[in-house]
């Protein structure tokens, strides 16, 4: 009987996101604080003799070799010489191109699950190295939780986990191209210079988070470029605060905006004010990937 493994792959939000500079390779150095939240895709991995296949509950999501999950599976086989196959079924709950790392967390789940299913024996640093080849958020998604990240987002440091914290996510019916935002002339950069790898503002944000001030940490440099083209996203952010959130921000390059709430009850009350939008009430979770 073929073995099947099942995993949840959780979304992330950026509590803090600053853009430091453009790199010579065309990418950008950033400073960010990632946090996993309780909105998850579900993936099952079933043994096959040699073929790799992917099916998805969301028809508009391509399941070809360009999909990050397929790329993760093919990369594992290329690096290890494994010839085993797998049938992957993806139930998609995280919106696409929404700043929540849905594709990245699915790819990370594939690396972790297939390492086990195919009995490859790779350790966490080896999986992390493979993840860097797939995308800037994938290394974080191997572990998840509360983490600070620099460079492209792959230089990671675990932070003190958040106490249980509630968020309301607003999912506008638009997608945002991260590459387009990074290329936007409206994208600004921090004026601060890093020392020992971090700017003073980033150090202050990490200290503030350690003191429990989640709302006071929220910041996203990309909002200026995104909101210039999509002012309704700025309006949604303002509405979150007006509805009772202690603060609000955009996640990643958007389009998801989120607010911090003092309790689950407050989060429910805030969500009720957004009957015109798709909303999700989530709490902080300690990891990106969970076997089920």
Q: Active site includes 193?
A: no
- Residue 211's pLDDT band (boundaries 50, 70, 90)? very high
Which of 18, 41, 106, 137 is the catalytic position?
137
Average pLDDT, the chain: 95
Q: Active site includes 12?
A: yes
Instruction: Tell which residue, 156, 159, 83, has the closest CA to residue 125.
Output: 156
110 neighbors 72 (Cβ within 8 angstroms): yes
- Residue 248's pLDDT band (boundaries 50, 70, 90)? very high
Does the pTM surpass 0.85? The reply is yes
* Res. 261: pLDDT tops 70: yes
- Say how far apart CA 261 and CA 107 lie, in whole Å: 30
Set out the domains of the chain in order of their start, with CATH numbers: 4-158 (3.30.230.10), 166-283 (3.30.70.890)
Mind listing the pLDDT tens digit for each residue in 196-210? 889 999 999 999 999
- Say how far apart CA 35 and CA 48 lie, in whole Å: 34
DSSP per position, 98-138: SSS-HHHHHHHHHHHHHHHHTT----HHHHHHHHHTT-SSH
Which of 12, 18, 41, 237 is the catalytic position?
12
Residue identified by tokens 């594709």 is: 103
- Residue 1's pLDDT band (boundaries 50, 70, 90)? low
Q: Which two tokens stand for residue 149?
A: 């990240």
Share of the chain above pLDDT 70, in %: 100
DSSP per position, 54-112: EEESSTTS--STTSHHHHHHHHHHHHH----EEEEEEE--SPTTSSS-HHHHHHHHHHH
- Say how far apart CA 68 and CA 82 lie, in whole Å: 19
Mind listing the pLDDT tens digit for each residue in 31-78? 999 999 999 999 999 999 999 999 999 999 999 999 999 999 999 999
What local confidence, expressed as pLDDT, does residue 176 receive? 86
User: Comparing 23-32, 214-223, 229-238, which segment has the lowest mean pLDDT?
Assistant: 23-32
Q: In this structure, are strands 219-220 and 4-22 parallel, antiparallel, or unpaired?
A: parallel
- Say how far apart CA 141 and CA 288 lie, in whole Å: 5
């Amino acid at each position: 009987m073929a073995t099947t493994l099942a995993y949840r792959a959780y979304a992330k939000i950026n509590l803090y996101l600053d853009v430091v500079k453009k790199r010579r390779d065309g990418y950008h150095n950033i400073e960010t604080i990632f946090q996993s939240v309780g909105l998850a895709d579900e993936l099952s991995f079933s043994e096959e003799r040699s073929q790799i296949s992917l099916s998805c509950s969301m028809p508009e999501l391509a399941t070809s070799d360009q999909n990050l999950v397929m790329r993760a599976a093919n990369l594992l086989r290329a690096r290890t010489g494994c010839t085993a196959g797998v049938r992957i079924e993806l139930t998609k709950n995280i919106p696409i191109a929404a700043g929540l790392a849905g594709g990245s967390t699915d790819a990370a789940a594939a690396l972790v699950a297939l390492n086990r299913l195919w009995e490859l024996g790779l350790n966490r640093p080896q999986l992390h190295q493979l993840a860097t080849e797939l995308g800037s958020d994938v290394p974080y998604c191997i572990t998840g939780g509360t983490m600070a990240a620099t460079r492209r987002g792959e230089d990671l440091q675990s932070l003190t986990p958040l106490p249980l914290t509630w968020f309301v996510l607003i999912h506008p019916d638009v997608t945002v191209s991260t590459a387009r935002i990074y290329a936007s002339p409206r994208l600004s950069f921090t004026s601060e210079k890093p020392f020992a790898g971090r700017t003073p503002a980033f150090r202050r944000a990490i200290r503030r988070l350690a003191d429990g001030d989640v709302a006071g940490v929220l910041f996203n440099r990309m909002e200026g470029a995104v909101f210039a083209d999509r002012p309704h996203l700025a309006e949604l952010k303002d509405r979150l605060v007006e509805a009772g959130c202690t603060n609000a921000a955009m996640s990643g390059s958007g389009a998801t905006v989120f607010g911090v709430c003092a309790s689950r009850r407050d989060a429910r009350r805030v969500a009720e004010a957004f009957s015109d939008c798709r909303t999700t009430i989530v709490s902080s979770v300690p990891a990106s990937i969970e076997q089920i």
